[in-house]
Structure 1
Amino acid sequence: MRYLLMAVLASLIVNFEGEISPIVPLLLDDLGMSLTTYGLIGALAVAVGGVSAAIGGRLADRYGRVLLLVPALLLAAVCNYATVLVHTPAQFLLVRCLLLFVEGAATTTTAGLVRDFSPRLGRATAFGFWTWGPIGANFLAAGIAGLTLTLFTSWRSQIIIMGTIALASCVVVVFFIADLSPQLRARVITSESDMVAPDPGAADPRPARGLMANRVFWVHLVGITLWLVWYWTLNIFGTTLLVQTFGLKESLAAIVMAATWGCNMVALVAAGWLSDRLRTRKPVILIGAVGGVAGMAYFVALVDRGQADLGQLIGIHALLGTAMAVAFGPWMALFSEDMEDLRPDLQATAWGAFGLSVRLMIVAVLIAAPVVAAGGTGWSRWLLIAMICNLFFVPLVSLLGGSRRRRPR
């Protein structure tokens, strides 16, 4: 439990250091960037992070998680503070590429650690907590911005606050994190009692063909990548969208987004616990996916109309945050288990492929969303595209592996 907590904290730190969505409007004004330029810079940086995620996953499987994670955490803190020195778009591009390169490898490593320290009977709950990393980063960044931007009007103040919190947390992780032996990482652990079974011997460092040649692997990646288009639209442009569409102040928009991520964090653990309790994944995933599409349709209508009160915006964002969590928490457990059934020794490699796939999608979002939003219909057309991507995910769920998880004798 302690090691699992450290993996969750590490995930939170590395995601928190790169979270700048609440300050994008201020950043654009200060650096004289257009939203399109910001999207292109972000796309290049995320592509660098995707390559790092794929490479980092393979290295973490081969040499261990902690050996890669600890230096990455400390280097990410340095890159975070370096953002304060940025004064031109070119400087911003350089710092973001460095930061996201470190973040890609570190995030993949923490996913592998969560699998290592969570038996299958509690896997969805464990990954629900792990997702507190990226979601908690959104919640903290939005909440801190909502509370402090009225006191410190500069976006640099937020970077300093984030860097200080992250650096202090890094020290805790460095002293209390640990790794499993290669022999244990190569085993499928259903419950904690399996840990007392005889050691099966050294892990077999075979190539990753057992993953790449399997249909379920690709269905997982395609489905979740499409499903995450809406999530990353809110993650990257949520505050900007609310400011531009509904005329909210940056601090109020940050509070609305904080409601999204706060509800998401609670629902992640609740949905994971329910999935573990029922020993099933797909029905819970479908409930979240269908509920999310319904909420998205309502929000698209609000954006198309261009007016909504603060209560409506908080309510629909809370619903969206909850639905996304109900689908994503059990999906992570199912992906981990399906990949474990294929190659238990290549968990970080599988999560690295997931990281690369999702980051390629983020590149597309960063490039396409500002262009589509700049058209005559504003953000409503892009949100409709994102909703359709989520709709495609629903039938793909039936093609995933993972039949009902039976309770062991």
Structure 2
Amino acid sequence: MDSLTQAVLGAALQGTVLGRIQGRRSLLYGAALGTLPDLDVIIRYADPVSQMTYHRGFSHSLFVLTGLALLLAWCVNRYWPGKGYTLPRLFLAFWLVLVTHPVLDAFTVYGTQLFWPLSVTPQSWAAVFIIDPVYTVPLLAAVVYTLAKGVTGKAVRLMTLALVFSTAYLGFGLAGRMQAEQRFQAALDHQGIPASDVRAVPIAFNSLIWRVLAKTPDGAYYEGVSSWLDQHPPEMQRLPRNLELASALAVAPLHQRLRWFTGDWLRYDEVDGALVVTDLRMGIPGNYTFRFNMAHRDSQGHWVADTPTAWQGAGVASMFNSHDLALIWRRIVDQQPPLPLAAWTSRYLAPTAAQRGH
């Protein structure tokens, strides 16, 4: 999740547990501690694949953060005695503030290594978008009220209520994801289309509309859109993953790491002599957030693996096209006309040099 959300979540948690002792300072301490795991972004890596796949790693590990919470609680209890703290209460506050950061991150689609150093696939529960005002605003309002009025009984109740609401909203997101996946699976079954894996991810600032992906045994995938309010089957399109191109990267360690990190939700395209690898999990249909140049053809036409670079036009900003988002938000309440999935794919996924220049 975004830094503001992590800060207000940490502030609300520490204010609720330690506010009566620390006063308004508890909100500042909680906000700082709540954003601490994201300090791993200051570590710079040699390529964007490493930057992506090592983020939310050791600093988001439940094991590491539990140990850090215990160490912080011991230090405060040892060097600042007589403040009304108890070691268990300190540990509870610090542990909640620290571990809720990666757990909340795991509710997004990016991928969070909760169990580092174990090499399990990063957790990606895809219940909420990376920025969701419905989750953030109640927590922010409760924290701002507490800063203004002080840590009163009413303020603590408001922060508690905001925490309960935000937690329930995550459950709403999970329910929406499951509903979207079930609808998409039913539509595939109705058409006699076999699918080996189906997953839904939220789109742009809400948990009402979902982009749904399904892999097929023959190496293709289906992509479509489903809303909570749909009365008819979701629109969808069949697209190739071009898995034959992956053989060019068979011995490339960073390609293997990318497959592990994404759960192998990858697509491969040859664009102007470059091998472009796309993470299908994030973005809007046809316009994906993470794309990487990972190989090129030599003068004999053979693939040569490269140090990955970011594909031109990729990145988080790529999914914030105001015209496309307006169509998506309209789609929440109305299935007609359907979204221009094929046009978006043609425009964004493998554009010509002329289109990229335009």
Q: TM-score surpassing 0.5?
A: no
Larger CA Rg, structure 1 vs 2: 2
* Structure with more contact order per residue of length (Cα contacts < 8 Å, sep ≥ 6): 1
Judging by fraction of residues, say which structure has more strand.
2
TM range (shorter): 0.3 to 0.5
From the two aligned structures, give the one with the greater helix fraction. Answer: 1
